Amino acid sequence: MSIGTFLVKLGLTDLGIVLGLVALVYIARRRQKDLPISVVVVLLGTLLLTSVLLLFSSGLVVPLPSKVRAWLEFSAYLGVSFVLLKAADLLVIEDYLIERKGAYIPDVLRTLILMTGLTVAALVTLRLVMNINVIALVALPTVATAVVGVALRDTLVRFFAGISLGKMMRVGDWISVMDKEGMVTDIGFGHITLRTRENDYVALPNNSVIQAGLTNYSRPTAAHGCHILIEAAYQTPPTLVRAVLTEAVTVVDGVLANPAPQAMVDAFKESGIQYRLRFWVEDYARQHLIQSEVMTYAWGAFQRNGIEIPFPQRVVQTLIPEDAAEKKNQDTDQLVSHLAKVDFFAILTPQQIESLAQGARIQTFLPGERVVRQGEAGEELFVIQDGTAEVRVHQDGRSSTVATLQNGQFFGEMSLLTGEPRSATVMATTPLRVVSIGRQALSRVVQEDGDLVNRISEVVARRQVEIAATRERLSRENAAAALVSRKRSLGERIQSFLWGH
């Protein structure tokens, strides 16, 4: 063979292998995955082997011994077979069956298919290239076969157990097995690997997992049911407690709206009634954090609604009357100072503001919780002491945010003065602290000052007219006439509401 002919054959052979490598790299990039390093190594090794074989068969150098040449040819054919089988695995099994059709084929089964294909290719190559009787190789002596079977028994059991586990779980699932809980990171030939919540890795034998049984929290659906137990005092009606718990959990981030949370009476205990609050989460990795948030929101809801969580033991509390009175006076002074800065109460005297402060309550809300809901009845006005809230109006099936309230601003004055249903929903956007003033506290102040209703009516009517004028661009004359009319109408409604009960 001339040097020119050798170079042409060498170039065509190497070009074919290189083009095959480029095609595999392109396919991997298109699928946004890396090409396995084993494929690259085998392709480069095959390229080197074919180049050596062409060189020694060209007559330009001393030929190789026949046995060495046969083994090199066997290795080259085996390398090509591996690349072809791996390409079929990537294109047919992974790309078509798994990615497009959604079939689940465990990695251990894919490896078994690849090994079986390589074994068949090796036997065929041994027979055709090296003229070896493969039947004699397969038919091992009986004693040797028994020895190998006994030695590999545990390995084979774990291998086929791994294939069975592929039907029960997949990589990424959260499972509990053999007193271990974690996310499945690998299903191997002999072991499965879990990553626990503490970020530790645990390896468990496949056959032991099969025998012990497992709980899969990610299947058949990602929704997982959780629950907390909480007690409430006997004097609180169970219907109220259940409604408060259900309302509290709906705004917790991570709790699913469907299935809907459920609150139920669980048991009658010595110190109170035990309730079970059941809810569903989709991200099992955050289960403990979500459960903690649910308990936090439940506690806040109990505090706002005056629901007592009873102590399981007797509590003896000694409080010096002077200290208690001093503490109450300090709290009242702080509320008076805060309310005096609110424009709605500018028409009140310091004594009247102090009277309101004595009957006021402090309430706290967590982000996402509703202070008032549109359409509900109410008899309270709220003044924001700390935090922010959104005012949302629901109309024609849509909900829109119309205002953001901050420290010192108030809402709910119409429900306090006239008992009208809430005209909007107010929701906390940050941890929110509000001062709640009820109808009874205001009635006491109004009854002591007969002219106060007129002054309040004028303040509220002026505020309503200014809002309407801004929206509708009313003239000064129309605005003045509207103010008089609204003041008269509003005064009558306030008197009827505050004194008509």
Asked if 384 and 407 count as a contact pair (C-beta separation under 8 A), the reply is yes
Instruction: Tell me the residue type at 397.
Output: G
Question: Which pLDDT does position 402 carry in this prediction?
Answer: 86
Question: Which pLDDT does position 161 carry in this prediction?
Answer: 60
Closest by CA to 55, choosing from 14, 15, 22, 92, is 14
Contacts of 284 (CB under 8 A, 6+ apart): 174, 217, 218, 222, 224
Side-chain half-sphere CA neighbours of 314 within 13 A: 1
149 pLDDT above the threshold of 60: no
Instruction: Tell me the residue type at 481.
Output: A
Instruction: Tell me the residue type at 83.
Output: V
What's the mean pLDDT in 273-288? Answer: 94
Tokens describing residue 430: 């940050």
426 phi/psi in degrees, rounded to 5 = -115, 125
266 pLDDT above the threshold of 60: yes
212 phi/psi in degrees, rounded to 5 = -75, -30
Window from 126-130, 226-230, 373-377 with minimum mean pLDDT: 126-130
Window from 38-47, 178-187, 248-257 with minimum mean pLDDT: 38-47
What's the mean pLDDT in 291-301? Answer: 94
Closest by CA to 298, choosing from 270, 271, 279, is 279
Burial of 41 (0-12, 13-18, 19+ CB in 10 A): exposed
The per-residue pLDDT for range 327-338, each reduced to its tens digit, is 667 777 888 888
Which of residues 242 and 44 earns the better pLDDT score?
Answer: 242
Side-chain half-sphere CA neighbours of 236 within 13 A: 25
What's the mean pLDDT in 68-95? Answer: 78
Long-range contact set of residues 199-204: C-beta below 8 Å, sequence gap at least 24: 204/177, 204/178, 204/180
DSSP reduced 3-state for 59: coil
d(CA 1, CA 63): 13
Question: Which pLDDT does position 501 carry in this prediction?
Answer: 47
**Residue 229's pLDDT band (boundaries 50, 70, 90)?**
very high
417 pLDDT above the threshold of 50: yes
Asked if 221 and 256 count as a contact pair (C-beta separation under 8 A), the reply is no
Question: Which pLDDT does position 186 carry in this prediction?
Answer: 85
**Residue 420's pLDDT band (boundaries 50, 70, 90)?**
confident
From start to end of 180-319, where are the E strands?
Answer: 180-187, 191-195, 201-205, 215-216, 224-232, 262-268, 273-281
**Mean pLDDT over all residues of the chain?**
79
The per-residue pLDDT for range 368-413, each reduced to its tens digit, is 999 999 988 888 889 999 999 999 988 888 888 888 999 888 888 8
104 pLDDT above the threshold of 70: no
267 pLDDT above the threshold of 90: yes
Element (H, E) at 399: strand 398-405
134 pLDDT above the threshold of 90: no
Which of residues 469 and 440 earns the better pLDDT score?
Answer: 440
What's the mean pLDDT in 273-296? Answer: 94
Question: Which pLDDT does position 273 carry in this prediction?
Answer: 95
Which of residues 211 and 407 earns the better pLDDT score?
Answer: 407
408 phi/psi in degrees, rounded to 5 = 95, -15
Hunting for tokens 């690349």 — which residue is that? 83
Which of 60-64, 81-85, 482-486 tops mean pLDDT?
81-85
151 pLDDT above the threshold of 70: no
28 to 35, 110, 369: CA distances (angstroms): 6, 18, 48
- Tell how many helices (H) and how many strands (E) occur in the chain: 16, 16
Question: Which pLDDT does position 50 carry in this prediction?
Answer: 76
Instruction: Tell me the residue type at 243.
Output: A
Angle at CA of residue 225, ends 204 and 177, nearest 5°? 10
What's the mean pLDDT in 230-249? Answer: 94
Q: What is the model's pTM?
A: 0.59
Question: Which pLDDT does position 474 carry in this prediction?
Answer: 47
35 pLDDT above the threshold of 60: yes
Question: Which pLDDT does position 292 carry in this prediction?
Answer: 95
Contacts of 86 (CB under 8 A, 6+ apart): 36, 38, 39, 114
Label the pairing between strands 174-177 and 215-216. Answer: antiparallel
What's the mean pLDDT in 264-280? Answer: 94
Which of 189-203, 294-308, 347-361 tops mean pLDDT?
294-308
291 pLDDT above the threshold of 80: yes
d(CA 483, CA 462): 6
What's the mean pLDDT in 420-434? Answer: 91
Window from 31-35, 109-113, 221-225, 227-231 with minimum mean pLDDT: 31-35
Tokens describing residue 214: 């497992």
Instruction: Tell me the residue type at 420.
Output: E
DSSP reduced 3-state for 263: strand
319 to 316, 322, 326, 438, 501: CA distances (angstroms): 10, 9, 12, 28, 37
